[in-house]
Amino acid sequence: MNLKELYQEIILDHGKNPRNLRKTDNFNKDAKGYNPLCGDKVHVYLKLNENKKVEDISFEGSGCAISMASASIMTDLVRGKEEIEVKEIVSDFLDMIKEKNELSNKILKDDEKTKLMCLSGVKKYPMRVKCATLSWHTLTSALENSQITINTEN
């Protein structure tokens, strides 16, 4: 199996069986996102504890395999991290998906980075980049408690 096939396999797996597709009990931060071009919808729920650590993160939503896989992988990788680390992971991911060739954060382990790199294939397709980044922008909005619904077209 080559790298491209491995990446596709992981995306298909997460797209078909999204992890953390539920609503967190007693969440204290949340935000919604919408990608009208594709119809992807996501609602991210976060529970930060008193040490600003992500005790739980989950999402509800529907959409294409890329948007679901991205939200699934994101929620898996962010759980247990501190808020400041989450922000670094988010900005590193967004840089990678837009311009850089690799991830540069020192927070994620190599196998975790591989899961994120699975999404790098969308780079060539601007429409798909919106699918892949929707849940990440929504997570940022949730952390900032901005109450703004993310719309990829605004």
Closer to Zn ion by CB, 116 or 131: give it. Answer: 131
Closer to Zn ion by CB, 40 or 85: give it. Answer: 40
Closer to Zn ion by CB, 108 or 129: give it. Answer: 129
- Sheet of 40-48: strand order equals 54-62, 40-48, 29-35, 150-151
Helix H or strand E encompassing 76: helix 65-78
Q: Contact with Zn ion (CB under 5 A): which of 20, 24, 58, 67?
A: 67
CB of 128 to Zn ion, least distance (A): 7
Residue-wise burial string across 72-95, b where 16 or more C-beta atoms lie within 10 A, e elsewhere: bbbbebbbebebebbebbbebbbe
Q: Contact with Zn ion (CB under 5 A): which of 19, 21, 27, 64?
A: 64
Cα within 13 Å of Cα(21), Cβ side = 18
Contact between 42 and Zn ion by CB under 5 A: the answer reads: no
Closer to Zn ion by CB, 21 or 38: give it. Answer: 38
Closer to Zn ion by CB, 7 or 56: give it. Answer: 7
Question: Which of the ranges 3-11, 19-27, 39-47, 135-143 carries the binding residues for Zn ion, by CB under 5 A?
Answer: 39-47
CA distance 134 to 146: 16
Site string for Zn ion, 120-139 (x = CB under 5 A): -----------x--------
DSSP string spanning 34-69? EETTTTEEEEEEEEE-TTSBEEEEEEEEE--HHHHH
Residues that bind Zn ion (CB under 5 A): 38, 40, 63-64, 67, 131
